[in-house]
Structure formats: C-alpha cells, structure tokens
Structure 1
Amino acid sequence: MLRHFPSVDIICVHHKRDYIIAAVTFFCVAFALINDADATLAEQKVLGSCAWVFLAIFLLGETKEIRVQVAIAVCFATLGEHFASPFMGGYTYRFHNVPAYVPPGHGMVYLTAVALARSGLFLKYARKITVLVVSVCGLWSLWGVSGLGQGDAVGMLLFCVFLIYLFKGKSPMVYLAAFFITTWLELIGTAVGTWQWAAIDPVLGWTQGNPPSGVAAWYCLVDAVAMGGSEPVMNALKDIKLWASVKIRKYAYQSGNDE
C-alpha cells in the first residue's frame, strides 16, 4: 500500500521557500483564528486583507499552473463554505457568515499543502509520515465512535474517504500534507470558538465531532478539484488568448486597409 509513496532512498532537495510558506501559513492561521475569537466584522475584514497580501506575495514565486490551481481552490472552497455553513448549517461561524479571511486562507492552505508535498522533508520521510497520519487519524476516528465523546460517526466516514484520497488519489503527497495544516486550523478554530460544527450533521443525520476526525477529507476534495481543473482552465485561457489575438490582428488589418 505504501508503494504509492516515494521510497526512502529518493534523492531529496530542500528548498527554503517551501518551509517558509508552510511556517508563515501555520503562524498566520493561528494568529487569525485566535484574534477572530472576539473580533468585530471590521477586524475580520482587516484580517482578510492581510491574508490576500500574504497569498499574493507567495504566488509571485510560483508557476502559472500553481497560480491557476490556487485560484480554483479559492473559488471552489468559497462556494463550498457558503453552501455548507450559512445555507446547510453543517458548521457555524460566530457571525453566521463566511469571514473575509476564509477565501484567501483557503488559497494559503492549498499552497502550503503543495509546498510541503514537494519539500525534501516530506519526500524523504513520506512513508513514515503516512503511517503516522493514518495511525493518528484512525485512532481519533475510533475514539469518536467509541461513545466516550459526543459521537462522531461523520468523522469515521470522512476518515474512510480520506484513506481513499490518500491511497487511490493522483496526488497523495498533497493530501498527506493537507492533513497537517487542516487539522491545525480546525483544532484551533473550534477550540477558540471561531466556528462550531453541528452536533448532528444536517444531511446524514449522524453524530458529528467538533471538528470531525476525518475533516481533512473535505480539504482533499478542494485540492483534487484544484489540481484536476487547472489543465482545462489553462487550455481555455490559451484558447481565449488565441481568439483575442486573432481578433486584434484582424481588426488591425482592416483598419490599415480602410486608411
């Protein structure tokens, strides 16, 4: 099963940029969520503006493909946030809204998963990290359905989905890295009361933890959509650029003839 991941003898190159992106994002997530615990709507907007600035700076050093992936992740995740929270009530933010820092935050989270996935550290210890993640998340899910807590049947379901992403998905390293940053933000966000997951899932009617143990699966969905959608979007952009170029040349030619 671990053959899906890089072998231990792989040659790894450590790029400082990958670790800087991860470190800054982990810090910014904690800073934003802790401060938002008693922030006003105006202060949420300030946090959002700062998040956009950080994301823009990070993207300056990325390829066009990664930038497109981040844009897709932001759009898809933002739509998902509005559907799952204000509309469905699967979890609720303090002001029953989607805070201003959440859309750019999703971009930073996705980029962090990509940066960690390609980092020398993760590539070198991929199999050991996988065993650690599956063990921790598995035990967490078992505790959730053991009856010792409030109950977390949804968490166990999501854990199974997470395993499918991890061992059958096209980008297992990204999903593996996503577990760390998403677990970090979910534990902090729910602990300080920035948002709270519903005790009973509004769709399945099952018990749900705060947060669900397999919550990383939702973020893996965002990652999968971002990576899968980048090529079609880039091809569409190329077609639009080509069409525009042809139209401009045609217009220039006709204008020259009219003169």
Structure 2
Amino acid sequence: MLQHLPEQGVAYPHRSRDYFIAGFTFFCVGVSLVIDGSASLTMQNILGVIAWIFLLGLLIGENKEVRMQVFIAVAFATAGEHFASIYMEGYTYRFENVPHYVPPGHGMVYLTAVALARSGFFQMYARKIAIFVFITGGLWSLWGISGIPEQGDQVGAFLFVIFVICVLKGRSPLVYLGAFFICTWLEIIGTAAGTWKWASIEPVFDWTQGNPPSGVAAWYCLVDAVAIGFAPKLLMGLQKLNYWYKTTIAN
C-alpha cells in the first residue's frame, strides 16, 4: 500500500536549509497567530508586511520551478480564502476579513510542506510517518463523528478520507504528509487563539464541522495539484514571451 513512498534503509542526504525553512515557519506561525488572537487591525497589517518579507527571503535559493509553485499556491489559496471565508462563511476571521498575512502565510506553509517532503528525514522515514499520520488523523476524525464532542466533524472525516486517498494515489505524497503537520499546527493554534473560527455547520451540505476540521490538510492536496500542474506551463509561457520580446526588439 505504501510501496510508492521512498525506500526504507537508504541514507538520504540532509540539507540544513530544509529543516530551517520548516522550523522557521512553525515558529512564525505559532507566534503570529497568538499575537493576532488579540491584536489590533493595524498590528495585523504589520504582521502581513513581515510575512511577505519572510516569504521572499525564504524563496532566495529556491529554483524557478519552486518559486513559481509558491506564487501559484499563494494566488490560488488566497482566492480560496475569499470564497470559503468571506463568501461562503465556512470560517470567519476576527475582523471578518482575510488578514494580509494570510497570502504570504500560505506561501510559507506550502514551501514548508515542500521542504519537509524533500528532507532526508521525511524520505528516510516516509512510511512510518505515513502510518503515524493515518493513525493520528484517523483517530481524530473518528472522535469528530463519534457524537462525544459537542461540535461534530463530518466535514473533517470526509476531508481526511480524501487526504488519505491523495497520499496513497497522488503524485506528491510526501508534500501532503508535510502539509498535514504544518496545517494541523496552524489550525490548532489559530482556532485556540481565536484568530478565526470554523462554522459549526458547513454551508453547502449542512454537515457538522469541527473547529478545526480534522482533515483540513486535504485542501493543500488541491493547492499542490494546482501549483505543480500550472508551474511548468507558466514558466514555459514566460520563456516564450521573453523570446518573442527579445526577437521583436532585435527586429
């Protein structure tokens, strides 16, 4: 079932950059969300400026394809935020907006998932990590639909099933596993700090929804699919445009 994951017992290389990106993002997410839990709108905007600086700094040293993936992920996830939060009201931020740090935050989260996926640790222990995530997420999902918690989580259980399928059948299973850790981290801290709150009833199918939903990392499977799918096409388009421009100027 997990044969498509990297082979065990191989000495995969460790890059300090990958661990720095992950550690730095986990730290920034925790601090910024706790601050925003009680901060003013001005402070929230300042966090946005800082987040953009951090994201651009982290992208230094990445290749063109990863940078393009990050920018696509930012654009797609930001559009999704406005649709799911502002329009659908599936979850709501403190000021009923989409904070300015959210777009670059999505970029940092996506880059962290990529960094974890290519890290020596994730490649070396991919199958054990997958089993841990399946068990942990599965128990969380079962808890949400058990009837024990006051706020049920049918949405989370459904999303977790989608997430498991993506890990087993998708083209970037390690990225999805990395996304599970950083997404779970930010969702637990963000909701606990009161930075945002998920609606108890999902607005489309009227399913119960946890705060946060257990399988929320599944959304990043979609973000990853869009980013990986469109990045090569956009890069090729930019190359053709650059060639056309140079040819036109030369003539």
TM-score if structure 1 supplies the norm length?
A: 0.95
| Partner SS for 1:4 | coil
What is the aligned partner in structure 1 of residue 228 from structure 2?
A: 227
Q: Paired residue for 2:159? A: 158
1:229, CA displacement in angstroms? 1.1
* Runs of 4+ in structure 1 over 3 Å off: none
Q: C-alpha separation between the residues in 1 aligned to 2:93 and 2:224?
A: 23
Could you say which residue in structure 1 is the equivalent of 2:52? 52
- Deviation, 1:46, is 0.6
- Give the match for residue 91 of structure 1: 91
The Cα offsets for residues 78-129 of structure 1, whole Å up to 9 and x where unpaired, read as: 0000000011000000000000100000000000000000000000000000
Residues 129-148 of structure 1, C-alpha deviation per residue, up to 9 Å, x if partnerless? 00000000001000000001
Match of 2:176 in 1: 175
Per-residue deviation, residues 151-198 of structure 1 (Å, max 9, x unmatched): 111111101110111111111010011100000000000011000000
User: Which one is further off, 128-137 or 8-17?
Assistant: 8-17
Equivalence for 1:78 = 78
1: CA distance between counterparts of 2:144 and 2:236? Answer: 44
Aligned-residue CA RMSD (Å):
0.7
Q: Which residue of 1 aligns with 2:34?
A: 34
What residue identity is the alignment partner of 1:2? L
C-alpha displacement at 1:11, in angstroms? 2.9
Question: 1:242: how far off?
Answer: 1.1
Q: Tell me what 1:253 maps to.
A: none
Find the counterpart in structure 1 of residue 190 from structure 2: 189
Write the mapping of 1:64-143 to structure 2, written as runs, cut at 5 A: 64-143=64-143
Distance between the aligned counterparts of 2:160 and 2:39, measured in 1?
A: 32
Q: Select the structure of larger CA radius of gyration.
A: 1
Amino acid in the other structure paired with 2:118: R
- The separation in 1 between residues aligned to 2:193 and 2:122, in whole angstroms, is 30
Equivalent position of 1:207 in the other structure: 208
Amino acid paired to 2:85: S
1:243 Cα deviation from its structure 2 partner? 1.1
Q: Using the alignment, how far apart are the partners of 1:109 and 1:10 within structure 2?
A: 27
In 2: Cα distance, 1:248 partner to 1:71 partner: 29
Aligned partners of 1:67 and 1:106: how far apart in 2? 13
Whole-Å Cα distance in 2 between the matches of residues 92 and 10 of structure 1? 45
Gaps of 5+ in 1: 251-259
Q: Structure 2 counterpart of 1:10, which letter?
A: V
Whether 1:14 and 2:18 are equivalent positions in the alignment is no
1:191-221: CA deviations, max 9, x gaps?
1100000000001110000011100001221
How many residues are paired up? 250
Percent identical across equivalent pairs? 61
